[in-house]
C-alpha cells in the first residue's frame, strides 16, 4: 500500500499538492513536447513508408517510446538488415538511459515498485532534463509523472498525425522534419552548460560523436558519452572546480550574513533612538 508519506512531494521549491506538482511537471516539459512533434510525425510517416500497418506503427511508439531508436530500427528494417543487428544497434543507442537511471537511482529507489516501473518506462532525455535538477532540488515523483506522462501522450499523438499524414502526403520525409531531432537535443543540452567542466564534456562528446559517425562506428554515441563525461570529471578534478565553487558559495553566504547583521544592527539602533527620544519627551 502506498502512503502519502512514501511519495510525499519533496522538491525545492516544494509543490503544495500532488495535482499542482503534476501540472508543474506538465508545463515544464511542454516546450520540449512541442519541439518533438515534427520528430513524432516523421516516426509515424516513416513507419508507414517502411510497410508497417497503422496499428503496428502506433504500437511502436506506444511500446518502445524511443524516438531515435525507432527511426534507426525502421531504417534498418527498410534496408533488410537482420533482427539481431537491429536489436544490438537499438540497445547501443538507448544505452544512455542506463546512465540516466544511475544518476537518478538515489532519488527513485526509495519509491514503491509501481512508481519505479512507471517512471522507468517514462524516462526520456526530456524527462531527465526537467526532473534531475541536482542535489539542491529534491525529487518529486508527481512532478516527474506529470512531465513524463504528458510527453508520452504528446509523442503518441504526433506519431498518429504522422501515420495519417504518411498515408495522405507523399515524400513527407523530404520536408526536413528530421532536423527536429538535432534541435531537441540542442535545446536539452544548452541550458545545462553552466560550468567549464560541463562545457568540456559537451565539446568532447560532440567531437567524438561526429568522428564516430564519419567512420560509421555503431557504438559511437556510447563512446562519445563516456569519453565526454570522463573528460569533464578529469577537468573538474584538475582545476578543483568543486572546491572553488564551494569557496565562492561560502563567501557569498558570509557576505549575506554580514549584510543581514548590519541591517538588524541599524534597526536596533533606530529603535533605541526612538525609545530614548520618547522618554525625553
Residue 26, classified by CB atoms within 10 Å of its CB into exposed (0-12), middle (13-18) or buried (19+), is buried
Average pLDDT of the residues in 61-83: 89
Alpha carbon distance 12, 135 (integer Å): 10
Residue 147 confidence (pLDDT) = 94
221: which 3 cell numbers?
Answer: 554515441
Rounded to two decimals, what is the model's pTM? 0.68
Contact partners, residue 94, CB within 8 Å, separation at least 6: 66, 68, 69
Answer whether residue 223 shows pLDDT above 70: yes
Q: How many CB atoms lie within 10 A of CB 245?
A: 12
Residue 11 confidence (pLDDT) = 41
Answer whether residue 1 shows pLDDT above 60: no
Answer whether residue 281 shows pLDDT above 80: no
Average pLDDT of the residues in 223-233: 89
The DSSP H or E segment spanning 2 is: none
Higher pLDDT among residues 277 and 150, named by residue:
150
Mean pLDDT of all residues belonging to the chain: 81
Average pLDDT of the residues in 119-131: 90
Contact partners, residue 113, CB within 8 Å, separation at least 6: none
Residue 275 confidence (pLDDT) = 60
pLDDT digit string, tens, across residues 12-46: 444 458 899 999 999 999 988 998 888 888 889 88
Higher pLDDT among residues 162 and 270, named by residue:
162
Q: How far apart are the first and last CA of the chain?
A: 69
Backbone region of residue 240 per phi and psi (left: phi > 0; alpha: psi in -120 to 50; beta: other values): left
pLDDT digit string, tens, across residues 156-207: 999 999 999 877 766 666 666 667 667 777 777 887 788 899 999 999 999 9
Residue 211 confidence (pLDDT) = 93
Q: Where are the domains of the chain?
A: 4-190, 241-280
C-alpha count within 13 angstroms, C-beta hemisphere, residue 273:
6
pLDDT digit string, tens, across residues 91-111: 888 888 888 888 888 888 899
> What confidence category does residue 65 fall into, taking pLDDT thresholds of 50, 70 and 90?
very high
Amino acid at each position: 500500500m502506498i502512503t502519502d508519506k512514501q511519495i510525499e512531494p519533496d522538491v525545492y521549491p516544494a509543490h503544495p499538492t500532488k495535482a499542482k506538482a503534476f501540472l508543474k511537471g506538465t508545463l515544464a516539459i511542454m516546450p520540449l513536447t512541442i519541439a518533438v512533434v515534427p520528430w513524432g510525425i516523421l516516426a509515424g510517416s516513416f513507419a508507414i513508408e517502411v510497410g508497417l500497418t497503422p496499428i503496428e506503427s502506433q504500437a511502436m511508439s506506444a511500446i518502445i517510446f524511443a524516438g531515435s531508436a525507432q527511426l534507426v530500427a525502421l531504417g534498418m528494417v527498410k534496408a533488410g538488415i537482420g533482427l539481431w543487428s537491429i536489436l544490438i544497434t537499438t540497445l547501443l543507442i538507448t544505452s544512455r538511459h542506463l546512465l540516466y537511471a544511475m544518476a537518478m537511482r538515489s532519488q527513485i529507489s526509495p519509491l514503491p515498485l509501481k512508481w519505479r516501473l512507471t517512471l522507468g518506462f517514462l524516462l526520456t532525455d526530456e524527462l531527465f532534463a526537467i526532473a534531475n535538477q541536482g542535489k539542491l532540488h529534491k525529487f518529486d515523483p508527481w512532478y516527474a509523472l506529470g512531465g513524463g506522462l504528458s510527453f508520452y501522450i504528446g509523442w503518441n499523438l504526433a506519431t498518429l498525425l504522422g501515420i495519417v499524414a504518411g498515408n495522405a502526403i507523399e515524400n513527407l520525409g523530404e520536408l526536413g522534419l528530421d532536423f527536429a531531432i538535432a534541435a531537441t537535443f540542442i535545446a536539452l543540452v544548452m541550458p545545462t552548460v553552466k560550468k567549464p567542466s560541463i562545457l568540456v564534456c559537451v565539446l568532447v562528446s560532440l567531437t567524438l560523436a561526429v568522428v564516430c559517425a564519419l567512420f560509421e562506428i555503431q557504438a559511437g554515441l556510447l563512446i562519445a558519452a563516456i569519453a565526454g563525461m570522463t573528460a569533464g570529471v578529469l577537468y573538474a578534478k584538475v582545476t578543483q572546480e568543486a572546491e572553488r565553487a564551494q569557496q565562492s558559495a561560502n563567501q557569498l553566504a558570509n557576505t549575506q550574513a554580514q549584510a543581514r547583521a548590519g541591517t538588524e544592527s541599524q534597526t536596533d539602533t533606530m529603535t533605541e533612538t526612538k525609545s530614548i527620544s520618547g522618554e525625553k519627551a
